[in-house]
Chains A and B, each alone.
Chain A
Amino acid sequence: MRSIAIIAGGVFRDSIRDRIGYGLVFFSIVLMASSFLLAQLTAGQDVKIIKDLGLAAASLIGLFIATFFGIGLVTKEVERRSIYSVLSKPVTRAQFVVGKYLGLVMTLLINLSVMTAAFYAVLWYLDFTTLQGAKAAWESPAMDPNMLKAFALMGVELMLITATAIFFSTFSSPFLSVAMTFAVYIIGHFGEDLKNMNSIVDSTILPYITKAVYYVMPNLSALDAKSAVVHGLPVSGMSMMLATASSTLYIATLLVGSILIFSRRDLK
């Protein structure tokens, strides 16, 4: 455990200082802030626009950080040979993979917290500058604490995407890893459509294939509460727990797979 914690700490320290990471988080904050200006152009929809744009920006930037940094965790280390010094220390390859994963997850959660704070700051300003009468038209209050649930589920989703990126990067090139991780993200968000394909297309074989894909891919739509919180709909604790539990199992499976592949790999 100690080795894992030390590796995680190293990744956290290295990635939290990465300029690209800073840039992406800064970009998302700028997007959130600019959504305030965009909201001024819409009548009565201002809070919805800010929430929609803010949540989408946080989700998208988180996805980029999780994917590109997640893939770089292993491939960059192997390409640049920095892994040679680490693995010559009393560290197993399994500890290396898990430590790297946890280090990036820590970085992601910090970044997500910063984006959440920026998001709430923009909403607080809107709330502060809006007249009481205009607030009556809002579906949900600007400072709705329910939105934290969407951010919490976004955190779980990013943890899953990071594990997916690491898994692919243990056996394929960075380009392919990025493509496959994005593919999993997209397919994962259309899980229900895949499951109910028989009601959409007139085919006997295709629904079986899509159903198989549905069961293999993570159900990311269960982790997406953005739309619900924007419209002030309830997000039950039970559904959050179930989605988190199934995602944890999926993450564990991906990490075990990554370790098994990485432990047998020649680091040329």
Chain B
Amino acid sequence: MDAIRTEGLTKHYQVGFWRPRPYIALDNLTLSVAPGEVFGFLGPNGAGKTTTLKLLMQLIYPTSGHAEILGSPVGDVAVKRRIGYLPENPYFYDNLTAEELLVYFARMFGCSAREGRARASRLLDEVGIGAERRFQLRKFSKGMVQRVGIAQALINEPELVFLDEPMSGLDPLGRREVRELILRLRDRGCTVFFSSHVLSDAEALCSRVAILAKGRLAASGALDELTSLESRGWELVVANLTADVLARLKPRLTRATPLGDGRFSLELPASTVPEQLIADLDGARIVSLNPLRGTLEDVFVEQVRATRGERFSEKVAS
């Protein structure tokens, strides 16, 4: 049984007051997420990520298609007991304290006030909210509200958690803590479905990703599968490289970038065997040799541009 499954999920909105016309926010999304995986749902702004999450939370209703969470249709109250959700830019009741808010949510899951307080305390520790937990939420910064939002998503110790832009508004330390938290959730067996346009987060955390562009699924699969296709050669960093040797090597390089102090970064196409080039260095010292793998960013940019119908050509510097 999949943790999440969508089939042909589509959402149209009517836009325009005098002459309403349909706007396709999500178009025929078919997707599945296996239990226990950290799944990255990526896409540029306006791609349809939040729309998908709202459909999965039944905050909005689909125009067509359907979705299941943990084997049951979305909106099932029994399923809601097993999931957590962090909305994008969360907002809570101004006049409640962080602790009161979490106890309030814990009680919706059947916890006693005492158990709710214990869970609230543990989670607020985990997301780094200290003595501020007794302050009313209107006094909280955006980053602190985000941390409270993450805590409330985990108040019921969910099997599956949906995080919409979880790193939004967090400082570098907060981002690192949330990354560690997501990895701890994964280790506990919790499925994590998170949307983001910060690709480094997805690369660091996800086993599989889906890329959404203009409401359509542009690509999906394991991170390794998506990025290995984009492997494009080697990067060789050398020191003490003379101008003569560089001129001789240039036809076999895609790019040579001076780094200062006689050091150069040489980019080799995938067709060049690096050992052969190294043999021709004539006394230059090798600093490092690394494969140039396609990054998630490359895949992302290519898929998004392709969906936008723009011509995409790889930029090769001479």
A window 76-109: CB within 8 A of B: 80-92
Give 11 A-B contacts (CB < 8 Å), ordered by A residue: A10-B104, A13-B95, A13-B104, A84-B90, A85-B105, A85-B153, A88-B85, A90-B78, A266-B59, A266-B61, A268-B60
Asked if A266 and B60 make an inter-chain contact with CB atoms under 8 angstroms apart, the answer reads: yes
Cβ-defined contact, A84 with B81, below 8 A: no
Residue of A6, A18, A268 touching B107 (CB-CB under 8 A):
A6
Find the A residue at minimum CB distance from B162.
A88
Query: Shortest CB–CB separation between residue B30 and chain A, in angstroms?
Result: 22
Number of A-B contacts (CB under 8 A): 81
Please give, as numbers and ranges, the residues of chain B lying within 8 Å of A92 by CB-CB distance.
77
Q: A85-B149, A85-B152, A88-B162 provided; 19 other pairs, C-beta below 8 A?
A: A6-B107, A6-B108, A10-B104, A13-B95, A13-B104, A14-B94, A14-B95, A18-B95, A80-B91, A82-B92, A83-B59, A85-B87, A88-B87, A90-B78, A90-B108, A90-B109, A91-B80, A91-B108, A266-B61
| Residues of chain A within 8 A of B77, CB atoms compared | 90-92
Closest CB in chain A relative to B136 CB, distance in Å: 8
A241 contacts the other chain (Cβ, under 8 Å)? no
Give residues of chain A (227-252) contacting chain B, Cβ–Cβ below 8 Å: none
Which residues of B in the span 32-68 have a Cβ within 8 Å of any Cβ on A? Answer: 54, 57-61
> Does A221 lie at the interface of the complex (its beta carbon under 8 Å from any beta carbon of B)?
no
Cβ contacts under 8 Å, A87 to chain B: 57-59
Q: B100, A13: Cβ atoms under 8 Å?
A: yes
Known: A10-B93, A13-B95, A90-B80. A84 touches B57 (CB 8 A): yes
Q: Which 7 A-B pairs have the closest CB atoms?
A: A88-B85, A84-B87, A17-B95, A266-B60, A89-B108, A90-B80, A80-B91
- Tell yes or no: A3 within 8 A of B by CB: yes
Q: Is B96 an interface residue (CB 8 A)?
A: yes
Point out the residues of chain A lying under 8 angstroms from B162, CB to CB. 88
Any A CB within 8 A of the CB of B213: no
Q: Is the CB of B92 within 8 A of A85?
A: yes
Task: Give chain A interface residues in 175-224, CB to chain B under 8 Å.
Answer: none
Give chain A interface residues in 25-84, CB to chain B under 8 Å: 80-84
In the complex, which residues of chain A have a beta carbon less than 8 angstroms from the beta carbon of B81?
Answer: 90
Q: Which residues of B contact A268 (CB under 8 A)?
A: 13, 60
Which chain B positions have C-beta within 8 A of A82?
Answer: 90-93
Interface centre among A18, A82, A89 (most CB of B within 10 A): A89
Contact with A along B98-112 (1 / 0, CB 8 A): 001000110111100
Q: How many Å lie between the Cα of A89 and that of B90 in the bound state?
A: 15
Contacting residue for B90 out of A2, A85, A264, CB 8 A = A85
In angstroms, how far is the closest chain B Cβ from the Cβ of A16?
Answer: 8
Interface residue? A117 (CB, 8 A)? no
| Residues in chain A within 8 A of chain B (CB atoms) | 2-3, 6, 9-10, 13-15, 17-18, 80-92, 264, 266-268
Chain A minimum-CB-distance residue to B76: A90
B83 at the interface (CB under 8 A from A): yes
A13, A80, A84: the one contacting B85 at CB < 8 Å is A84
Say yes or no: A10-B60 contact (C-beta < 8 A), given A81-B89, A90-B77, A90-B81.
no
Central interface residue in B60, B93, B95, by most chain A CB within 10 Å: B93
User: Does the CB pair B59–A267 fall under 8 Å?
Assistant: yes
Residues of chain B within 8 A of A13, CB atoms compared: 95-96, 100, 104
Min Cβ gap B101→A in Å is 9
Give B55 Cβ to nearest chain A Cβ, in Å: 10
Given the complex, which residues of B lie within 8 Å of A89, measured CB to CB?
80, 105, 108-109, 156
Whether B104 contacts A6 by the Cβ 8 Å rule is: yes
With A84-B90, A90-B77, A92-B77 known as contacts, the answer to whether A267 contacts B60 (CB < 8 A) is yes
Q: Is the CB of B100 within 8 A of A88?
A: no
Residue of B nearest to A83 (CB): B59
Nearest B-chain residue to A79, judged by Cβ: B91
Chain A residue at minimal CB-CB distance from B94 = A14
Are A81 and B108 neighbours in the complex by a CB distance under 8 Å?
A: no
B80 touches A81 (CB 8 A): no
Least CB separation from A16: chain B residue: B95
Given the known inter-chain contacts A13-B100, A90-B80, A92-B77, please indicate yes or no for A84 contacting B59, CB distance below 8 A. yes
Which A residues touch B105, using CB under 8 A? 85, 89
The answer for the CA separation of A264 and B94 in the assembled complex, in Å, is 27
Chain A proximity of B268: nearest CB distance (Å): 50
Taking a contact as CB atoms under 8 Å apart, the answer to whether A88 and B80 are in contact is yes
CA distance A84 to B83 in the complex (A): 13
Q: How far is the CB of B231 from chain A (nearest CB, A)?
A: 40
A92–B60 alpha-carbon span in the complex (Å)? 14
Chain A residues near B152 (CB-CB < 8 A): 85
Q: Which residue of A is nearest B164, CB measured?
A: A84
> Nearest chain-A residue to B92 (Cβ)?
A82
Q: Which residues of A contact B107 (CB under 8 A)?
A: 6
Docked CA distance A267–B91 (Å): 15
Interchain CA distance A181-B290 in the complex, whole Å = 70
Cross-chain contact A267 with B108 (CB below 8 angstroms)? no
